[in-house]
Structures are given as C-alpha cells and as structure tokens.
Structure 1
Amino acid sequence: MMPNLDYIPLFLLVFVRLTSFFVSAPLWMERQIPAPFKWGSAFFISILVVGLMEVPQGLELNSNYLLLIMKEVIVGLSMGFFAAILFYAVELAGSFIDLQSGFAMASMFNPQSSIQEPITGRFYYILTIVFFLSINGHHILIQGVMASFQWIPIDSWLPSDASSNLVILALDSIKNMFWLAFLIAAPMLGSIFLVDIALGILAKTAPQMNLFVIGIPVKMMMHYIVIYITLPAFFYVLGRLVNVMVQSFEHILQILGS
C-alpha cells in the first residue's frame, strides 16, 4: 500500500514545530541529551499528530510554504523559551545566593551553556529537574505543544499584533523570573545579612579579632544550614513556578492563535 503523499507537506510543518520546541524546551534542550533523541522524539510524535489531522486545502510546496516553515520555527522556539523561564529563575536565585555567601568565587562548568556557573545555582537547577520530572512536567510540556496545533493551525498565519504581544509577554515573564528568583533567595540573603551585621558589631567590640578569617567559615556554615531548612519552601516555590510556566503556555497560545 502506497503512502498518501498529500500528508508530506503537513508532516514537515508539524515536524519543524516540534523540533524547534524540543531544541529550546526544558530537559530536552540540555546538551547531554543526544541530538538523535531530540529529533527522533519530534519525528515519532509528528507521526501521531499527523494521524489525527486532516490535510489543509491548498497546502503546497511553494514560496508560501517557506513562510509557513518560518512561522512554525517561531511558534516552537517561543513555546520552548517561555517554558524554560522556570529553570532560568532557579539559576538566577542560586547566583544571588552565592554572591552574598562567598561561593561566587567557586564555580562549576555547565555543559548546557558552556560557561562557569555558581555552585548553588547548579545545585538548585538539578533539584528543579528532579522535581519537574517527579510531577510529570515533561508530560505537561508535551500536552502543551500538542494543544498548540488546535490553537495555532498549521495552515494559518500569525495575527498582526503577535509581535507586540510577544514582547509584552516576554517582559512580563522576565519580571516574574526576577521576582521568583528573589523569592527563592530571600531566606538566604536575609540570613547572610544578619551574619554581616553580627560580624560588624563584633568588629567594633573586639577589633583585635581577624574577622576575615572568621567571617568566611561562618557564612559558609550559615549557607548550608539555611539551604537545609528552606528546602521545603523551595519546593513550594517550584510549584508556583510550574503554575507560572503553564500560564505562560496558555498566554502564548492565545497570542499566536488566529
């Protein structure tokens, strides 16, 4: 039985959107994930999606088809970027903490971004991945990108106000990222601030003491104690971050939907 060649243009557009999404979405965007796994996942999910869709009328391999491919790339990358805000906020919170606790001098190589990152940021990042997988966050992402084919049909164009609305959504998401990062780092920053006040008072009352030698171990000890105490609150904030991610998904589908 010969395959229906009319589905090839439709399959290619679905495949481009899913591949763009998997390249920029959390978990799949990691460099440790082999590239064949990324496009392989996109390929087999595309087969399932195309099997549930009808071939749009007038979908041909012409100049308009190239514009549709560019549209699918924009849609896939946009959804992946806004979903990754969750992980960016956690890493930013770790950077705030290390800057105050003295761990900013020590760093780890992040193979994802090919740069040196603070230790606490990487630790929180790994905890976030474990938490995200434990609540089946990867299923939420797949369901979101599958729902995008209903909100944003393959053969439709983006609305005329999509670019301005995307900028507004991006600014709002970045604002939430900084706010949630500060919320995660607030207990640690407050504790380190109190330690600095105590060391300042001690420097006035006992100037003969070498506070530079004492201050670093005290901050390091406080760093680990506060992290241990605030882990339940950290996972609570992660739950809030997942809700923000889902809301961003809904907003971007409304913006890009026609």
Structure 2
Amino acid sequence: MSIRIGMVFAMTPILTGMPMPASVRIMLVLGLAVALGGVLPNTTLRGAVDASDLLRAVGIEFSIGVVLALGVTLAFATFSVAGRILDIQIGFGIGQLFDPATRQNLPILTGAFSQLGLLCFFAVNGHHTVLRALAYSFEQFPMGEPWPLSESLPVVLRHAAGVFALGFSLVAPVVTCLLLVELGLGVVARNLPQMNMFVMGMPVKVIVGLSALAAWIGGAGDVVSRIFTSVFRGWEALFR
C-alpha cells in the first residue's frame, strides 16, 4: 500500500514543493498507509504468496501510483506552461532563478506560477481529493488484483493534450495585451526607424505585462478550477 501512496507523493510537488526533511515525508507516507489499511478492506495479499506474486503486486502498485500522480503532475505543468508563455512574451526568459518545487533553474514567472499552482492546489482542498482518490483506488483496485493499464493510456494522453490549451487560457488576456503592445511598437518602429525599439520596448512590455497580470490574476479562478477539475475527471475515468 505504501508503494502506491509513495509514488503519488514522490512524483508530484505536493510534498517536494515544500521544505521538508525526507524522513518526515517517509513517515507521512507510512502513516497514511497504516491509516488507510485500518479502515479499508482488501488491503492485504491473501493466500499463499511467493516471490513472483509479490513482485507482480509491487509492479501493479507502482503503475497505479504513477498514473494517479500523472494527473496531478500535469495540472502543475499547466501553471508552468502559462508562466513560460509569459516569460517568452515579456522577455524574462533571459533571467532564471532556482525553483525548489522542480529543483532546477527556471525563468522568473515560470517559477512564480509553479508556486502559485501549489498554493491554489491547497486552497481548493486538492489534497483532500487526493486522499479520497487514493482510498477509492484501493476499493476499486485492491492490492495484487489485475489492473488494466492499457485502458488508462487514452485518459492520460487526453489529459496531457489539454495542458497547453489550459495553460494558454490561464494567461490569454495578458498575452493579448502584450501582442497589442508589440503591434504598437511595430508601428512606432516603422514610422521612427531611428529609435532603438529594443531599449524602449523591453521596459514597456515588462510594465504592461506585469500590470495586466496583476489585473487578471484575481479573475482567473474559473480557469484554475477547470485545471484541477480536469484532474478529478481523469481519475473518475480511470476508476470506471
């Protein structure tokens, strides 16, 4: 049981995005496994179990945990895609900062949107839904029972295909404002070729981009809800 739970938390930024010792994460996973094992039926392998049965059960638990984690990971990837789009449009792609959630150097807004995704996840009680999904997965797919891995592939691919569409919709108004600024700068450069548009354009794009983002971020709740709703719908399709 701890393998399935551990894979879900290991492959998602739910715990890795926060400064937490590895021993605490391990104890949390083991504690959840004990808690779920005490209230859920069919959480132990029954009958005679040999090494091959044990390895098969471990493989099944591993695969189920990976598929469940992919849904959450793709939701957080949507925020990263949105931040990357803005970094390219505004011009922040040339500067990078260390992102503790992904443990790599990312542009400014990409890292900020990654942290925003983690904040929104807890704000909409996504961690509660993850725990309910884990409990329901043990009811639908008990430990050691065969699991149709091939049937989950269309669900995962459909969810992955929506990452870019949802990521763009999250920052579409800001991108539209930046495109209008680019159009205006192009008109000015056409009529005043002696002006250095690179020197003048960068501050203008930064000011307009950050201002539009500050004005839009308060009204992006519907898009954020759609992002996490897509995860829940994907899990429902897996458990049918």
After TM superposition, is the score higher than 0.5? yes
> Within 5 A, what are the aligned runs for 1:48-127?
48-52=35-39, 53-54=41-42, 55-58=44-47, 60-127=49-116
Equivalent position of 2:137 in the other structure: 148
Equivalent position of 2:220 in the other structure: 234
Q: Give the whole-Å Cα distance in 1 for the aligned partners of 2:101 and 2:112.
A: 14
Cα displacement (A) at 1:61: 4.2
Q: Give the whole-Å Cα distance in 1 for the aligned partners of 2:16 and 2:239.
A: 21
AA at the equivalent of 2:176? G
AA at the equivalent of 1:15? S
Cα displacement (A) at 1:57: 3.2
Moved more, 56-65 or 39-48: 56-65
Q: Give the whole-Å Cα distance in 1 for the aligned partners of 2:103 and 2:13.
A: 16
Cα displacement (A) at 1:113: 3.0
Match of 2:155 among 157, 169, 172: 169
Cα displacement (A) at 1:192: 1.1
What do residues 94-151 of structure 1 show as CA deviations (whole Å, max 9, x unaligned)?
Answer: 1011101111111111234332211111112222222221222111111111111011
Equivalent position of 1:157 in the other structure: 146
Moved more, 150-159 or 219-228: 150-159
What do residues 17-49 of structure 1 show as CA deviations (whole Å, max 9, x unaligned)?
Answer: 111222113412437332222221121111122
SS at match of 1:154: coil
TM-score with structure 1 setting the length? 0.86
Q: Give the whole-Å Cα distance in 2 for the aligned partners of 1:245 and 1:59.
A: 37
The answer as to whether partners of 2:13 and 2:101 remain within 8 angstroms in 1 is no
Equivalent position of 1:39 in the other structure: 26
Asked whether 1:24 is paired with 2:3, we answer no
Equivalent position of 1:215 in the other structure: 201
Mark the runs of 5 or more structure 1 residues left unpaired by the alignment: 1-13
C-alpha RMSD of the superposition: 1.8
Moved more, 235-244 or 88-97: 235-244
SS at match of 1:27: helix
Moved more, 185-194 or 55-64: 55-64
Q: Give the whole-Å Cα distance in 1 for the aligned partners of 2:62 and 2:16.
A: 15
- Number of residue pairs aligned between Structure 1 and Structure 2: 238
Q: How many percent of aligned residue pairs carry the same amino acid?
A: 24
SS at match of 1:33: coil
